[in-house]
Structure 1
Amino acid sequence: MKHVNTIWIAAAMVMIWPARVILQAACPAPDPRSAQTLIVPGTAQYDGRPSAQFAARLDQAADLWRANPSLRVITVGGNLPGDRFTEAGVGADQLRRAGVDPGAITAVAQGNDTRGSLAAALAACPDPGRVIIVTDPNHRSRARLIAREVGFSGVDTVGAAGTPTRFPGTHWAWTLLHESAGLAVADLRRLPAPAGVADMLEKALRTAAGRLRPSRSTRYRHLDRDGA
């Protein structure tokens, strides 16, 4: 009986992270009139063309800006070896084409993961006021957590309505797994665990993810090199 109880407790603990991802993804979108800054984290772009996932974030940001044209919009994200374009630059170009005032847009071409990109955004705009991060629905929980960790004081998130990572597709299942693992790493960083344990777990998870999704392996190798 004790062994069975231990299994149930372990299973419940494992389910905590997916539950947090799903609950945050379902939260209502914040009112753009309550914010001063939008941040759009970059993701895959193909020689200057945003991926469907990235384009959905940018379309959502453009809609929010139209609802409150006083918003400043920060696009973030660097590039990988061999890329001619940065994610931030591609995002800024796409927003301009969507009719967003060029004077409202700041491209911060740094960062290849959420933490690095948000830290770069805060460094470029130290007084952003109330912030809305425009990302994928399943990324909302982790993006908000990391934003607070890097120094943002008032932050909300919104999930891009047109994202291809919608329930119940394969992409949705992958992002749920990815974000749940990311939350586990983030929680471990806040515990009094031995130094480096969270980094070791993160590296192991990236290695596994790279094998499951070879298209992402280059990004993970680049992040590991940056961390080293």
Structure 2
Amino acid sequence: MLRTPNNRHKIDSILVLGTAQYDGVPSRQFAARLRHAAKLWRLHEIQHVYTVGGKLPGDRFTEAEVAREYLIKEGVDPDLIFASAVGNDTVSSYEALDPEKLGRVLIVTDPNHSYRAVRIARRMGFDAKPSPTTYSPAKFPSIVYFLTLSHEWGGVVVQDVSWLLGERVADKVEASLRTIQGLLRPSRRARHEQLRRLKK
């Protein structure tokens, strides 16, 4: 069983959240998550590992599939890896999973994303603990670090608005924040458009 430094409870599974991949090759951000997950698994070599994430229009591979192949190359037992090629954001990826099946789960993602990702997971019934990657290329005090931090805290604001004022108001807030992010990070526009279509 896996024990984390800040608690004495066993961990049943490791969940790696997907992000950008390019024709089967994980982005630096994605590879950082996967490298960390493989390191965690090698501590005891018994946990189930779940990879999640679909694909954007034009992609040949899903994020979950790319993650699975990467982890196998890193020595993770293929029989213990479960790829869920569903979802283009954190919520939709979680919706395809059964919290009871995962048991106590470590959520592997970027440091700036970790708080929001675990917060969402717990709200959806997962017994989740954070395990942010230590290999993230978005290092403080780089511009990318602050861009990703602003994105994640924008997501927290949208969550809170949804819980307090309802989804319609939250959708308007989210659309405004995505417009701003699209100006700052044009590479995010394709993902924003995909998510907008899925909500229709």
Tell me the TM-score range normalised by the shorter chain: over 0.9
Q: Structure 1 unaligned runs (5+)? A: 1-27
What does residue 175 of structure 1 align with? 148
The number of aligned residues is 197
Give percent identity, aligned residues only. 48
Contact 1:42–1:87, Cα closer than 8 Å, also in 2? yes
User: Are 2:121 and 1:147 equivalent residues in the alignment?
Assistant: yes
Contact 1:57–1:160, Cα closer than 8 Å, also in 2? yes
Distance in 2 of aligned mates of 1:177 and 1:225 = 24
What does residue 216 of structure 1 align with? 188
Distance in 2 of aligned mates of 1:217 and 1:224 = 10
Distance in 1 of aligned mates of 2:166 and 2:35 = 42
What does residue 227 of structure 1 align with? 199
Higher RCO (CA 8 Å, separation ≥ 6 residues) = 1
Q: Per-residue CA shift, 1:61-102, capped at 9, x if unaligned?
A: 000000121100000000000000000000000000000000
> 1:32–1:95: structure 2 CA closer, same or farther, 3 Å change rule?
farther
User: Are 2:62 and 1:86 equivalent residues in the alignment?
Assistant: yes
Distance in 2 of aligned mates of 1:29 and 1:217 = 39
- Given residue 163 of structure 1, which amino acid in structure 2 is its aligned partner? S
- Given residue 74 of structure 2, which amino acid in structure 1 is its aligned partner? A
Distance in 2 of aligned mates of 1:31 and 1:68 = 16
Contact 1:49–1:90, Cα closer than 8 Å, also in 2? yes
Contact 1:140–1:158, Cα closer than 8 Å, also in 2? yes
Kindly state the Cα deviation for residue 144 of structure 1 after the two structures are TM-superposed.
0.8
SS of residue matched to 1:159: coil
What does residue 175 of structure 2 align with? 203
Which structure: greater helix fraction?
A: 1
After the TM superposition, which parts of structure 1 deviate over 4 Å for at least 4 consecutive aligned residues? 28-33
- Given residue 200 of structure 1, which amino acid in structure 2 is its aligned partner? K
SS of residue matched to 1:155: strand
- Given residue 227 of structure 1, which amino acid in structure 2 is its aligned partner? K
What does residue 67 of structure 1 align with? 43
SS of residue matched to 2:101: coil
Q: Structure 2 unaligned runs (5+)? A: none
Q: Which runs of structure 2 are paired with 1:39-188 in the superposition (5 Å)?
A: 39-122=15-98, 126-152=100-126, 154-188=127-161
Distance in 1 of aligned mates of 2:167 and 2:26 = 37
- Given residue 77 of structure 1, which amino acid in structure 2 is its aligned partner? G
Q: Per-residue CA shift, 1:167-195, capped at 9, x if unaligned?
A: 1111111111001111111111121x255
